Amino acid sequence: MAAKKKAATFESALEELEQLVERLESGDLPLDEALADFERGVKLTRECQQKLASAEQKVKILMEEGGKIQELPFDAEDDFPGDVE
């Protein structure tokens, strides 16, 4: 029985996706390779979207206050509740 391949991290999946895009944009690939790279890219995109959705859900849970989830839009420029300046 074959061992399952360990799930890639978000960063490694994104890096591989960027490499695939570069290869596809070069226009130098035979059709079969381009199609295989495109299929892999679609799979990686879905994996990244799933990982981002999971991370977003975890952030919402961590923002829970007083039994209610306080859903705030994410903005890297905003201060988080409870931050000390």
What distance in Å separates the CA atoms of residue 44 and residue 47, rounded to the nearest whole number? 5
What distance in Å separates the CA atoms of residue 45 and residue 57, rounded to the nearest whole number? 18
Task: Write down the pLDDT at residue 61.
Answer: 74
Torsional sign, CA 5, 9, 73, 70? positive
What distance in Å separates the CA atoms of residue 43 and residue 49, rounded to the nearest whole number? 10
Q: What is the pTM of this model?
A: 0.63
In the three-class reduction of DSSP (H, G, I as helix; E, B as strand; rest coil), residue 65 is classed as: strand
* DSSP code of residue 78: S
Query: Mind listing the pLDDT tens digit for each residue in 41-72?
Result: 999 999 999 999 988 888 777 776 666 766 66
Task: Assess whether pLDDT exceeds 70 at residue 17.
Answer: yes
